[in-house]
Amino acid sequence: MAQVGALRVTRQTMGAIADGAFKVLLGVAFVAGAAPLGRLLGTAAWLMVASGMALLIGGGIEIGYTHSRSMRTCTQLMIAYDSGWVLAALAGLLMAREGSSVGGEVWMAYQTAAPLAFAVLLVAAAPAPMTSDARAEDTAR
């Protein structure tokens, strides 16, 4: 466990921050490469930009709220998000295999809606209970 300022950073916390950072980086890639990635996936550039913005927002909120929400809540939300990601990717692949042109749009639609739902649920979650170290620090101020 590392000590960063007054925050204790566990492996789980670092994992949640890394998950948020991955969303942010993916969002940047989607926005920066909207046209070529859109052609590759068979989606409109505007959907790539919308998805990129949603990922930037969702990842930023995840990074910002990681320290104030319980790791159990963060982990459950990450598992739900990633499970949906896998299902959306499989659905998109199956559609593409069957010759449908909407497989990429299904996957990108998920990438647009899911990060925002994740962020809303994380913000709405109850704050993590204060540890005894944090309570002692607050009373010392």
Q: What is residue 128's three-state secondary structure?
A: coil
**pLDDT value of residue 12:** 81
**pLDDT value of residue 7:** 55
- Residue type for 83, please? S
**Could you report the average pLDDT of every consecutive run of 10 residues in the chain (141 residues)?**
55 89 97 95 94 97 91 92 95 90 91 96 88 47 44
**pLDDT value of residue 11:** 82
Distances in Å between the Cα of 105 and the Cα atoms of 93, 98, 130, 132, 139 are 11, 15, 42, 48, 52
**pLDDT value of residue 25:** 97
Residues 122 and 66: their CA atoms lie apart, in Å, by 9
**pLDDT value of residue 131:** 61
**pLDDT value of residue 132:** 52
